[in-house]
Amino acid sequence: MDERTKGFEGWQVCSNSALKRATRQLGQLYDDAIDASGLRGTQYTLMTQIHMNSGTSLKVLAESIVMDLSALGHTLKPLIRDGLVELVTDEKDRRVKRVKLTQAGVEKWQEAYGLWREAQERFEQQFGKEQAQALRDTLNLIASKDFASRFRVSTNRD
């Protein structure tokens, strides 16, 4: 064990703890990188999903980012308040709310995207382009419904 990891032995054996620790560190780095846009990393990520899937329902959006509806609503409130995101009632089913970026939201997203792109390039330079892709592939697998289902089934067998 080298000096950098001394005292952090728990991170070596618990996947959840190691992932949360890395996520906090990387989140802070990306937050710093896009700070000039006025957005936090979580807001940028959410706006990116909305931008890429404009008009999606709140339920589908929540499922895609592995978040419950109440947490999504809480995260959306400041974006709605600031006029960056709007909720639109579905024309066919008035109970369904769809989410999309406003024109101001698209402009804010574009501003943040440039800053994010620079951060993403720095990450890939430091981590390695192929390793970064492999990491994203692994994390997407872990975030999948299929993985969660298999994990839950395996714990129920014990």
Q: Which residues pair with 88 in a beta bridge?
A: 98
CATH topology of domain 19-119: Arc Repressor Mutant, subunit A (1.10.10)
pLDDT at 54: 85
Give me the residue spans of the domains in the chain.
Answer: 19-119
CA 29 – CA 123 distance, rounded (Å): 9
pLDDT at 156: 64
pLDDT at 2: 63
pLDDT at 86: 96
Residue with tokens 């989410």: 99
pLDDT at 18: 87
pLDDT at 13: 78
> Where are the strands (E) in the chain, listed by range?
56-57, 85-89, 97-101
pLDDT tens across the length of the chain (158 residues): 566 666 666 667 788 988 999 999 999 999 999 999 999 999 999 999 999 998 899 999 999 999 999 999 999 999 999 999 999 998 888 889 999 999 999 999 999 999 999 999 999 999 999 999 999 999 999 999 999 999 998 766 55
pLDDT at 5: 60
